[in-house]
Chain A
């Protein structure tokens, strides 16, 4: 599952409603046992970002509970466990180049937050 899969004939899956999102922060949704961290940044474009919720360094499902911000112009979430930063667009870990988390294509369709697989 990567952004490359986002093609015209994708079938968006409803994850939650816009009202469930918390501005400038994260929440977690589940899809077939997979945990997806959703970040809503109303002042950015795009406004919505989705990463795997599993922190490969902290070894727990927690990235949705990290703080968001930017470093060197890259939008990031800081793991609440050991504070490494993950790029919201690419999933790359800024501190450890070899480590990354999966990125999911998400978008707002009306009030619906959709995963576009």
Chain B
């Protein structure tokens, strides 16, 4: 049998073994891995400090290799290769004979040759063992420095940050991720990363590392520009170097700056020896990403079969989350091609940067840079990889939606060769074939083709391809809300209304199956509240509410809640301000002014919520419904009462609107604002419905929102009197409540209405459906049955039982721990909490 020896058991070496086992080649496979562990997922290494164990990261196990009949040796390095006798010897003295040898030795971290780089605690970031070292060195330290601002360096910074250290990134070059990003993208990435509390130092050449004489920390880095930085530990992650010593020693051709030279077949200068992954040099280039490494492994395996697949270089486009920041880079990010044209969009309010590089004739996409928002990545990558002709105005591909952007490239427009999943190299054609073979559901397609089972970045694209194929085959696209109801929210709303259904139990027994889940239950709860407005904590509804609705407060990351009393229109008396201050002091709450002109009180323990509210209610406050999918706030400017420019009393109108619709349960949260003149200080055009005063009355705007995808509202009607304004808002809101899908904001909902804004005007203004009276009536009944849920709760001892931390003791949750910051409490980080708990124990 053919003896194949694979040296190196990283991700690429392991992929080679898997591919070879899956092929029909009869081979006796031996694996020699330098690390003590079988292959693991190095791409997600930094998640180790976010709680993933080595087992979570493992790609295989010793047992699994045994089952496959693969002989595996770990923790042993190959010392030499004898090409004449075709044998190799390991450091522990073992000898292996081979017919075909595969070098997948990978790379090692480059440590800049700086004096003091070998001091304790300096280390590198490459293996799970390195992580152990980093963790040990971080213990007792406060500051950590990562040398290197590339992809790996920033991954590593994430790891250091997760350890709770004050994190610095020191980069020699002028910008972060210089390989993948242009100057603008790099600057935006820096802004975002610094906003996360990581300090970035660029253009910093480290001269020497020495013990910190000033005693501030363990070490001090002296830079060439005369500045210095104290740190308790240093991790080098400034690039990689191919492990090619073995190849050099046995006389294989290696590149001038390292890397084992290979041809299209991944063969080295010895045709019985292959090199794949980061140790290999192809076309003068090292491919430092996992996907090209996999392609090399597949090409090398194919050499042993009858179906030869050459390696032809690989696309280095990449999309990833670094420190939680979305970063994408496609093709020629730097616009190096002669005559290329660039389009740049940058929005510093929301920290988004996008750049397109387009060919001189404007027809082809050559490259792209995305920072802060990668939602266009899939579409752009398809344009790039498949050479699809660009629209006449390519800039529309990166402009925000409401500026008239081109719609995302539909799945139907993609050619069969288009790569959908680059991790597993699945094309649209592969997906269509799988569906032809009868694997029609998304789950079936996934398990049949392995698409979207790697990084998962193509999940949305895969779904749209499958949906599009289903639709084109005349099959029904499954719009079911969840496994319990084969209904959309709109259909459920109609059923509940028409059949006068009053409880979830009745609904699921008549129209669903099973017991329900956290998708359908709150949807049903919201519909029941929209239609019948029962107290949300009635026993039959309790199980339908998620925790925020159950406890009438918003859960925060340590399990405590935030409390937001209603401050209608942002108007508040000094006495009420004092009450809020007193309550916050008494219960040790963190206070912050919200964007909706209210005051948010954070850090309330569940057992304190009723006490807090008793005091707030006594001072005249009501619940602010910040916890509900409901009307939140109606923001206002000060209006004609005080302002020299105001033309109407915007505060009075805001108060009226907020008090009218407060508590209205809806498919998603609702926000509003009223401005007293066209200067628009209340920002009404960014709200679900906004009102702007004119000389003659009010202009109504609908369908705006802030958030992730901001959208300006559309002008709906002009110069309305008070009564007509309220009538239109009643109809608009109730029509939305009735027909929108679950978690659909008004803007998206309007987009789904056939005929859009004009249709909505017909329904609301002209009453084209003949339902206006009904909508108004329904709103009137909800307005009439309003109750402050907190008032109802604090008056009912039975309901208050729900707010006990423990049903059987008065103890507090000792794992809720606060520390002080800027004179206020904040939740302890995971590391602080553990330490404080250990100290108290």
Contact = CB atoms under 8 A, between A and B. Distances in A.
Same complex for A and B? Answer: yes
Given A38-B807, A62-B559, A68 B543 contact: yes
Which among B51, B514, B543, B550 has the greatest number of chain A C-beta atoms within 10 A? B543
A80 B542 contact: no
B448 interface: no
A30 B806 CA distance: 6
Which 5 pairs between the two chains have the least Cβ-Cβ distance?
A: A60-B559, A24-B543, A80-B547, A69-B517, A78-B518
B483 A71 contact: yes
22 contacts: A20-B801, A22-B802, A23-B539, A23-B543, A25-B542, A29-B806, A30-B811, A33-B814, A35-B813, A54-B815, A57-B51, A59-B830, A60-B559, A65-B555, A67-B522, A67-B543, A69-B484, A69-B521, A73-B514, A80-B546, A80-B555, A81-B557
A30 B517 contact: no
A108 interface: no
Nearest to A56: B51
B227 interface: no
Given A60-B815, A69-B517, A69-B518, A98 B53 contact: yes
A33 B545 CA distance: 28
Contacts of A60: 557-559, 815-816
Contact of B516 (A16, A58, A65, A70): A70
Contacts of B542: 22-25
Interface string B535-562: 0000100111111101100010111000
Contacts of A75: 515
A13 B548 CA distance: 32
A101 interface: no
Interface in A57-97: 57-62, 65-73, 75-76, 78, 80-81, 83, 85
Contacts of A33: 814
B56 interface: yes
B514 A70 contact: yes
Nearest to B815: A61
Interface string A6-33: 0000000001100010111101111101
Nearest to B830: A59
A85 B516 CA distance: 13
Nearest to B809: A30
A69 B546 CA distance: 12
B659 interface: no
Nearest to A71: B517
Contacts of A98: 53, 55-56
A23 to B, nearest CB: 7
B486 interface: no
A54 to B, nearest CB: 8
B518 A83 contact: yes
Contacts of A71: 483, 517
Nearest to A67: B518
A62 B558 CA distance: 9
A75 B517 CA distance: 9
A16 B548 CA distance: 25
A33 B812 CA distance: 10
Contacts of A67: 517-518, 521-522, 543-547
Interface string B493-519: 000000000000000000000111110
Given A28-B805, A60-B557, A65 B550 contact: yes
Contacts of B53: 98
B807 A20 contact: yes
B518 A28 contact: no
Interface string B797-832: 000011011111101011110000000000000100
A8 B558 CA distance: 39
A69 B807 contact: no
Contacts of B516: 69-70
A53 to B, nearest CB: 9
B146 to A, nearest CB: 25
Contact of A27 (B521, B543, B558, B807): B807
A106 B52 CA distance: 31
B483 A72 contact: yes
Contact of B547 (A24, A65, A85): A65
A80 B56 CA distance: 24
Contact of A28 (B483, B539, B807): B807
B812 to A, nearest CB: 10
Contacts of A62: 547, 555, 559
Nearest to A72: B483
Contacts of A35: 806, 813
Nearest to A53: B813
Given A20-B808, A27-B802, A78-B517, 17 more contacts: A22-B543, A28-B805, A33-B814, A35-B806, A41-B515, A43-B515, A58-B557, A61-B816, A62-B547, A65-B547, A65-B550, A67-B547, A69-B514, A80-B546, A80-B547, A81-B555, A98-B56
A69 B481 CA distance: 15
Nearest to B560: A60
A98 B521 CA distance: 28
A20 B830 CA distance: 32
B555 A25 contact: no
Contact of B559 (A22, A25, A61, A78): A61
A15 B483 contact: no
B546 A70 contact: no
Contact of B807 (A15, A78, A80): A15
Interface string B358-380: 00000000000000000000000
Nearest to A68: B543
A80 B483 CA distance: 20
B160 to A, nearest CB: 19
A22 B801 CA distance: 10
A76 B806 CA distance: 21
A61 to B, nearest CB: 5
B697 to A, nearest CB: 45
A9 B120 CA distance: 57
Which among A60, A80, A85 has the greatest number of chain B C-beta atoms within 10 A? A60
Contacts of A68: 515, 543
Nearest to B559: A60
A84 B520 CA distance: 15
Given A23-B539, A61-B815, A62-B555, A28 B517 contact: no
A24 to B, nearest CB: 4
Contacts of B801: 20
Interface string A41-57: 10110000000001011
B808 A30 contact: yes
B834 to A, nearest CB: 10
Interface string B769-810: 000000000000000000000000000000001101111110
A101 to B, nearest CB: 14
